[in-house]
Amino acid sequence: MLADADRETKQVATGNLIVLTGPSGVGKGTIVAQLFERMPDLRRSVSMTTRPQRPGEIEGHSYFFVERPFFKSKIKSGELLEWAEFAGHLYGTPKEYVDKELMAGFDVILEIEVIGARLVKELHPDAVMIFIAPPSFEELERRLRGRATETPEKIEMRLAKAKQELQEKNVFHYEVVNDNLDAAINNLEHIVYAERLRIRKQVSQ
């Protein structure tokens, strides 16, 4: 029967690519980490970066740590789904892992920069685009200034970038406000489950 065949194609054969982004300081790292604890069937894409490995970070889990020429060769050969330069380092998403997991029927979460998110949407028009927003711009400012590790100049830069990003959220399908961590994770869970029930059209929305 047509209805069942369709359903299988979507719900069993292919997972959803879920793009999670938001301004820096909004807490998306914490949210994503807890989402994976709640939903162990989700797959997390591991990014490639030219940034030096920090203590505690695990190669192949936190990131794939590579040299700049290697990263550039991956861009050239089209093996990255998206990439962006950030604070002097390159960050990108290897395509192969994402495609393999999607084909195996798993939902894959990409936690990336807003600019990279836009690139992914162009390549994967079916990607589920989620924007994590701060309760207010003032609250974001407070959180960023609370980071003792950064210079005032860097914080100003991040704030200016965040302001712009907040205005461009119309690229996204969902907005999850991170005013309460637990509520934000619940909301992400609702989105992930609901998107598994979406009827995908031939023409992307």
Site for a second copy, rule CB under 8 A: 1-4, 6-7, 131, 133, 136-137, 166-167, 169-170, 172-177, 186-187, 189-191, 193-195, 197-199, 201, 205
Asked if residues 140 and 26 have their Cβ atoms less than 8 Å apart, the reply is: yes
Q: Please, what is the minimum distance in Å from the beta carbon of residue 29 to a second copy? A: 20
Give the C-alpha separation, 113 to 145, whole Å: 20
Q: Please, what is the minimum distance in Å from the beta carbon of residue 89 to a second copy? A: 28
Q: Please, what is the minimum distance in Å from the beta carbon of residue 115 to a second copy? A: 17
In the bound state with a second copy, the residue whose beta carbon lies nearer, of 23 and 116, is: 23
User: Residues 70-96, buried b or exposed e (16+ Cβ, 10 A)?
Assistant: ebeebeeeeebbbbbeeeeebbbbbbe
In the bound state with a second copy, the residue whose beta carbon lies nearer, of 101 and 141, is: 141
In the bound state with a second copy, the residue whose beta carbon lies nearer, of 149 and 205, is: 205
Helices 181-196, 28-38: crossing angle, 10 deg rounding: 60
